[in-house]
Amino acid sequence: MNTEQKLALVTGASKGIGAAIAQELARSGFAIWLNYRSDHTAAAAVRDKIENDGGRCRLLPFDVTDMHQTEQALRPLLEAQVPYAVVNNAGITRDTLLAMMAEQQWNDVINSHLGGFFNVTRTVLAQMMRKRQGRIVNIVSTSGQTGVAGQTNYCAAKAGVIGATRALAVEVARRNILVNAVAPGFIATEMTAAIDEEQIAAKVPLGRAGSVEDVAWMVDYLCSEKARYITGQVFSVNGGVYMG
């Protein structure tokens, strides 16, 4: 990869919102490190789309919940190049009421979102601080801003990442590293496919679900020079379903 080209690391980017973010950042001139856990076919398809459009993309299969895997995948690459942008998007859901929630369901969701944020960001952060530049964008959720029945684990994880976003923004501002979060609402992905469209329309003031591109455009803006005086903020992309 051209070391003069800005680089973006996007986690959980083999499909859905993460794939859209990777493609949008590539269109804006970023080389992409595309992380995913196990869906090699989907990840390769995203890479091919980026490269067919003239971009550059390296696939990085590792589990963000595992610090050893994360360091093993990233540290050798960081010796040659440091991402300008890190987008923490990887995450899962294990929805059920808390009274019936298994310990594993709680731990899996917390480890995926909060643990993944910690493992990836800490691995890259020291090098970013030495470069005295960078953008960290954490994909959170409307669920982390307001309560949702059946998602106590997910709400707790996303609210935790929002708190971490604000704290880290204060820690690294002097090093010209900006840290923000993007909170999608109902976005048309595999995760929302089971929800009836009429139910979504009834809950959202704009009357429809959003698209993955709606989220990707916000992330792209936060990684651009136009957002150079913005840090520690949470940007809602939710059609007005939550106004906090």
* Residues annotated as part of the active site: 154
H helices of 80-226, where? Answer: 103-110, 116-131, 152-172, 197-203, 212-222
| DSSP bridge pairs for 187 | 210
Q: How far apart are CA 160 and CA 207, in angstroms?
A: 29
For 124, the token pair is 């890259």
For 159, the token pair is 């609210």
HSE at residue 106, side-chain half, CA atoms within 13 A, is: 9
Q: How far apart are CA 184 and CA 145, in angstroms?
A: 10
Q: What are the angstrom distances between the C-alpha of 191 and each of 29, 94, 188, 212, 234?
A: 29, 11, 8, 12, 22
Q: How far apart are the first and last CA of the chain?
A: 41
How buried is 56 (Cβ within 10 angstroms: 0-12 exposed, 13-18 middle, 19+ buried)? middle
Contacts of 193 (CB under 8 A, 6+ apart): none
